[in-house]
C-alpha cells in the first residue's frame, strides 16, 4: 500500500490525503442516504420545538 501524502495542518484538518478521501466518501454517503430517505418530513416549527426542548433538558441536567 503506498504511503499517503501528509497534509499541512494549516490547510487541512486531516493528517493525510487518505484520511481526507475517507472522510469525503463517508460524508457523501451520509448526504446520499439523507436524500434517499423517504420518511415524512418534519415541519420546521416542530423541529425547532424538539431542539429547544433538548437544549432546555440539557441545561436543566447541568444545573
Return left, alpha or beta for 7; rule: phi > 0 is left, psi -120 to 50 is alpha, else beta: beta
Q: Distance (Å, rounded) from C-alpha 7 to C-alpha 17?
A: 7
User: Does the structure show a pLDDT above 60 at 6?
Assistant: yes
φ, ψ at 19 (rounded to 5°): -65, -40
Q: Which tens digit of pLDDT belongs to each residue from 26-60?
A: 999 999 999 999 999 999 999 999 999 999 999 99
CB 20 within 8 A of CB 14: yes
Tell me the three state secondary structure of residue 5. coil
Amino acid at each position: 500500500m503506498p504511503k499517503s501524502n501528509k497534509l499541512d495542518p494549516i490547510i487541512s484538518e486531516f493528517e493525510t490525503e487518505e484520511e481526507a478521501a475517507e472522510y469525503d466518501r463517508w460524508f457523501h454517503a451520509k448526504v446520499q442516504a439523507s436524500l434517499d430517505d423517504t420518511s415524512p418530513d418534519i415541519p420546521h416549527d416542530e423541529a425547532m420545538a424538539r431542539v429547544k426542548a433538548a437544549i432546555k433538558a440539557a441545561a436543566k441536567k447541568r444545573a
